Amino acid sequence: MLLEFDVNGIKRKLDVDPEMRLIDILRDKLGLKGTKEGCGEGECGACTVIIDSVAVNSCLVLAIQARDKQIITIEGLEKDGELDLLQKTFINQGAVQCGYCTPGMLMSCKALLMQNTNPTEKEIRLAISGNLCRCTGYTKIIRAVREAVETGGMQNG
């Protein structure tokens, strides 16, 4: 199947098996290794990417479902060598520890901020409820999102 889609602002055309998972296309066909596979069952959130402004587990998305979609991976957050504000606040708040969950966690938080530029703590907790982290206890992650909101620059995208 010819798959046409947009990844991190770049139009892509690939010949893929329609039953191939999006995570495998991103990692193996496009070399975007920042998207991690944890469980392969949609339970851990390590593989979270943004598809058409919604956070999704890329291990559960088939190639055919990605057709004509706009996909943002962790690599798409930085622009011109500059980290995204949310990435900076994760660093500032110590929300990155072992780092395995971090790409998925950042993508879930970014998707939230694309929809809601001033989320409550409850809304942040709900947005990251599909992302498992064994290191941080989530408090620093929530503080990082709040810092990004308070710092500004979180305008729908």
Q: What percentage of residues in the chain have a pLDDT greater than 90?
A: 90
Residue 38 has pLDDT above 80, yes or no: yes
3-state secondary structure of 55: strand
- pTM metric for this prediction: 0.94
pLDDT, tens digit (0-9, with 9 covering 90-100), for 78-121: 999 999 999 999 999 999 989 999 999 999 999 999 999 999 99
Q: Which two tokens stand for residue 102?
A: 């971090």
Residue 17 has pLDDT above 70, yes or no: yes
pLDDT, tens digit (0-9, with 9 covering 90-100), for 39-79: 999 999 999 999 999 999 999 999 999 999 999 999 999 99
Task: State how far the Cα of 106 lies from the Cα of 77, in Å rounded to an integer.
Answer: 9
Measured CA distances, 114 to 67, 80, 117, 155 (Å): 22, 20, 7, 7
Delimit the domains of the chain by residue range: 2-76, 85-151
For domain 85-151, give its CATH number from 3.30.470.20, 1.10.150.120, 3.20.20.70, 3.40.1190.10.
1.10.150.120
Contacts of 82 by beta carbon, 8 Å cutoff, 6+ apart: none
Element (DSSP H or E) covering residue 89: helix 85-92
The CATH architecture annotation of domain 2-76 reads Roll (3.10)
